[in-house]
Amino acid sequence: MKYKNSIVAMGGLALFLSCATNPFTGSKTLALVPNSQLFPTAFAQYDQFLTEHKIIKGTKDAEMVKRVGQKIAVAAERWLDANGYQGYLKDYKWEYNLVEDKTVNAWCMPGGKIVVYTGILPIAKDEAGLAAIMGHEVSHALANHGQQRMSAGMVQQLGSVAGNVVIKDQETLNLFNQAYGIGSEVGLMLPFSRSHETEADEIGLYLMAIAGYEPMEAANLWRRMSAQSGGQAPPEFLSTHPANETRIRNIEAHAAKAKEEARKFGVTTFKS
Catalytic residue numbers?
A: 137
DSSP class of residue 239 equals S
Please report, for residues 37, 71, 271, the alpha-carbon distance to residue 91 in angstroms, rounded to integers and kept in the order given. Answer: 12, 18, 30
Contact between 193 and 237 (Cβ < 8 Å): no
Contact between 222 and 246 (Cβ < 8 Å): no
Please report, for residues 17, 158, 190, 235, the alpha-carbon distance to residue 31 in angstroms, rounded to integers and kept in the order given. Answer: 9, 15, 19, 30
Cα separation of 12 and 70, whole Å? 40
Closest CA to 137 of 103, 101, 111: 111
Contact between 206 and 262 (Cβ < 8 Å): yes
Alpha helix stretches (DSSP H) within the chain = 2-17, 35-51, 60-82, 121-124, 127-142, 145-166, 170-184, 190-210, 217-229, 244-263
DSSP class of residue 109 equals E
